Structures are given as C-alpha cells and as structure tokens.
Amino acid sequence: MSDKAQLETVAEPAVGYNDLKFYFANLNTMFSIRNTLAVDMMTAMPAGSLQRRIHDISSITKRIYAETTTPTVTSLLDKVEAEATANPEGWEDWDLANLREMRRIHSHLSSLPPDLYIASVQVANEGRKMHAAALTQNNWQEAQPYIEKVVALYRKIAELKQKKFDTRTPYKALLLGYASDISEAQMDKLYDDLLEPLKELHAKAIEKQAAQEPPIVLDGDFARGDQMWLNKTILEMMGFDFERGGLYVTNLAPMTGGGPEDSRILVRCGDSDTFLDSMSDTLYQGARGLYYQNLPDDWKTQPVGQDQGALMMNSLSILYETIIGRTPQFFDFISIRAEGVFRQFKNKGFESENLYQLKKVIHKTNRRNEADELSKIFHDILRYRIERDLINGKIEVKDIPARWNQESKELLGDEPKTLAEGPLQNPDWFTGRFGFIPTNTLSHIVAAQLHETLYAEFPDMGDKITNGDLGSVNEWVNEKIHSVGRKQDTLAMIKNITGKEIGVEGLLKHLERRYLSDKR
C-alpha cells in the first residue's frame, strides 16, 4: 500500500475520511488472507509445510502493523478526528463509530514499537510448539525459561499499553485486547460475587448426582461420515449458509476462520469419538460462522462492520452450544436423528433424557478441557488469579507451580498429580494470550443474561427447539448483535439488549436450573 492517499474525497463528512476507509479496507483484506492461510494450515496443509506457513502468517501480520502505523494513516486520523470533534452534526452514527474503531486499532498497534510487536507475533506462533513439547514431556524445568521470556515480553507490552490507555494496572492493559470495556476491579467483583454461591451450588449438584443412576455411556459405530452428516444438519438448523461457508474436519484445535463470504467451520471428528463431542464443536463454531455471515453488509470492509471480538464471539458460542445445545428440548430433537444416522434403534443410551444427562455429568478433574460446564468456572478463576498477579509483578514464573497447587486445592479440592495436570496444561502462558482467560467466564455470564432475555421475549422457545426450529433465535441474535457490528461497545450493547448491567445473577439462575431442577 502506498503512503499516498488514493481516493477522491467525495460525499464524505470530513476531508480525508474516504482515504482512511480505503486504507482500512486494504487492512481488512490482509486480515482475510491471514485467516484463510490459518484455516488451510489447520486442515489441508502437509505437516512438513508448517514452518513456512507460520513464516507467511507472521509476514502478513508484520505488514498489517506497518500499514496501520504508517505516518499517512496517523496524520489522517488526527486530522479527521479533529474535524469530527469540531463539526459532529455532519457525521452519521455509523461513520462516527467507524472512526472510533479505526482509532482503537491504530492505538493498540502504535502503542508498541516494531521490535516488541514482531516479538509478540513470533511468541504466538512458536509458543504452540513449545507448549506441546512441554506438555508431552511433563517438564517444567525446560518450560520455565521459555515462559519467563514470554512473561518478560508481555510485562513490557503491558507497561507500554498501560501508559497509552491510562489503565490502573498492567494486567488491565492486556485485558483491553479481549474485553475492552471491563476493568480488572469489575472482573474481580464478578468472580467474588460468583465464587461462594457457585461452591454451594456445586456441592448440592454433586449430592443430587450421587443419588441418581448414572447415565448410560454411548456405545456404537460413530463413523466420521455419519457424524459429519449430523453436524451438517445441525448447521442447517442454525441457519448457516453453505453457499458462503463450509464444514471441515481438523486434527488440531476447532476454529472458525474466513469472513462473511467464506466462513470455514473446523471441528474435531474421529471415528472412535462419540458424536456428542463433534456436535458440541459444531454448535460452538457454528455460532461464530453465523456471526461472520450476518455482519452488516454495507460496512463489511470497515472496522465498524467487524465482530465485537472475543467476549461477544464466545458469548454467542456458549449461548448456542452450552446453554441451548444442552437443554432437554434440544436432545428431544437430536435423539431421533442420532438413532437413525448411527443405526441405534431401541438403544436406551440414545434416548433424549440419557443424552441430556450425559452432557451435565459433574466430574472431578484437574484438567480444564475435561471439566464440566460448572467446574470450568473454578478452573478459570484459578488461572485468572495467577496470570493477573504474574503480569502485575506480584509473583514470578518460578512461583507458578506452588501457586497453582494452592489455588487448585482451594478451588478444585485437590492438587494436580503431575505438572501436565497443573500449569503446563495452559497454552496461553506459552503464546502470550494474557487477558483471554477471564473472557471464558465473562462470556458465560453474558450468554446466560442473553438467554434470559431471549426466553422472556419468546415464551414458547422450548417448543420451538424441540421441533428443531432455531429461526427465532437466529433472527433475534441477528437483529440485536450480528447486524450491529461494532457500532456499540460490548457492555453497552448487552445493557441495551437485556436492560441490565452485566452481573452474575443470570448465570447462577441458569446453573441452578440445569443442575438442581432439570428445567430448560
């Protein structure tokens, strides 16, 4: 991209705004190319090509940084913002929001010097490999020096971002990248409000579960082709447009990539797995694909036309997969189809009540990715406390194993037997995703709050889900969230939709209903 403005400034609220739109449309194209390369890496790429592909993705990421922080873009932003401040009556709401999002992107990138930004890209790529090796070898001695390097890097990044955005703590500066409009103090309060009621609920749910017969473990032939047929049916039920997207199998992590015209949903699906796991991936990633496909078309190349980011993206995934996709009504719809496709007629394990009970079994585990919906929150609190204190300089990397054991004993009731069951299981501290962990619980809170509002507006929602009708859900989510893009901040949007500030009441009500009363 040239450093020279490219567009004629016609019908624009301020001279230079159309040129900014041109620059950010090109930036959007580079994001799209990077996403497509990442999706291909997760599916069709030969294993021997991995290092070259990581290099290509890193190169594009560096280009994104360079193009966004070029002096031309910087001066144009300053100039156009000054004009918007002086003459706000000449601006439409969408354009003002677009200008705000341009500044947000520019501020986050320009807050770092090139060497730190490039180092963060390298860590994000090589960290996955380092984590896999450390986890396999259960070797903290080799992992510790690498994590120390990552933490030192992100303390520098946090310090610079703290100065740039005037945050109370360095950790809050990193939290901005995942949940921009919530403070560390708010996050602490949400966890404080949640913890004691959650412990009480968890104990009651364990007691209730112990008094019941355990559900029947699924057994049968779960061929990949049959699983993917059922998964495709679920995506169709959700309203996914296969003319502008597709469903694929990955042997790596499930993900959704691409954009509005090319949404790729990647799910894990092995012949030895039951269909429940790939179905969960499909619901979770399908919600993301729907988000991409229904973003505001008129603004699809601009910052304001993009998704809200990790918090809202995860919230919609949890709404579809963890909340709606684990209701008795959903399994009433799925069980008959699963019986047919897997040829398990009269198999009691495939009855809807058994499938429902299988997805809500609470089991004690030190591994987060094996934990149930309720217990995952304790795992997230554990990780949040440690990484918050780590970035804020209250503990050092060498202290992590002992601190993990301490938090694990308090929150999970047990210490891990190996480091692979402890701190080595967390890839985020190898790849530098500090600040992402609390969005798991935040998203659960938001999803439950959205769910309450959705059911209040559609009292017959349970009957609709039993009949495989998610049309009302899709239309509601599209109107309230998808089509809004980034016109509003996330927490402001949630308050507009639900009429409430973000709080834990909805999540506690949902968990109590599911684990203690068996309703909805």
Confidence check: pLDDT of 2 > 50: no
CB-based burial label for 80 (10 Å; 0-12, 13-18, 19+) = buried
Confidence check: pLDDT of 4 > 90: no
Q: Quick one: which H or E segment has residue 266?
A: strand 262-267
What is the rounded average pLDDT of the residues 252-261?
84
**Residue appearing with tokens 């790849």:** 431
Report d(CA 237, CA 224) in Å as an integer.
20
pLDDT in tens, 354-386: 999 999 999 889 999 899 999 999 999 999 999
Report d(CA 334, CA 213) in Å as an integer.
22
Q: Quickly state the pLDDT bin for 278 (edges 50, 70, 90).
A: very high
At 1 the pLDDT is: 42
CB atoms within 10 A of CB 66: 13
Higher-scoring residue by pLDDT: 63, 443: 443
| Average pLDDT of every residue of the chain | 91
Confidence check: pLDDT of 252 > 70: yes
Report d(CA 53, CA 59) in Å as an integer.
10
Q: Quickly state the pLDDT bin for 5 (edges 50, 70, 90).
A: very low
At 518 the pLDDT is: 66
At 520 the pLDDT is: 57
Residue type, 501: E
Confidence check: pLDDT of 257 > 50: yes
What is the rounded (10 degree) CA torsion for 514, 512, 213, 336? -10
Q: Are strands 245-249 and 255-259 parallel, antiparallel or unpaired?
A: unpaired
Q: Residue 53 in 3-state DSSP?
A: helix
Range with lowest mean pLDDT among 145-149, 180-184, 208-212, 400-404: 180-184
Q: Please, which residues have CB within 8 angstroms of residue 11's CB and are 6 or more apart in sequence? A: none
Write out the CATH class of domain 224-360+439-517: mainly alpha
Question: What residue spans define the domains of the chain?
Answer: 1-110, 224-360+439-517
DSSP result, 218-257: P-S---HHHHHHHHHHHHHHHT--TTSEEEEE-SS--EEE
pLDDT in tens, 79-95: 999 999 999 999 999 99
pLDDT in tens, 331-357: 999 999 999 999 998 899 999 999 999
What is the rounded average pLDDT of the residues 300-329?
95
Structural tokens at position 262: 């090319």
DSSP result, 166-232: T-SSHHHHHHTTTSTT--HHHHHHHHHHHHHHHHHHHHHHHHHHHTSPPPPPP-S---HHHHHHHHH
Structural tokens at position 223: 């061929």
At 519 the pLDDT is: 63
What is the rounded average pLDDT of the residues 165-178?
92
Range with lowest mean pLDDT among 52-66, 291-305, 479-493: 52-66
Proportion of the chain above pLDDT 70, given as a percent: 97
Confidence check: pLDDT of 3 > 50: no
What is the rounded average pLDDT of the residues 196-222?
94
What is the rounded average pLDDT of the residues 382-394?
96
Confidence check: pLDDT of 9 > 50: no
Residue type, 219: D
pLDDT in tens, 498-509: 999 999 999 999
Q: Quickly state the pLDDT bin for 254 (edges 50, 70, 90).
A: confident
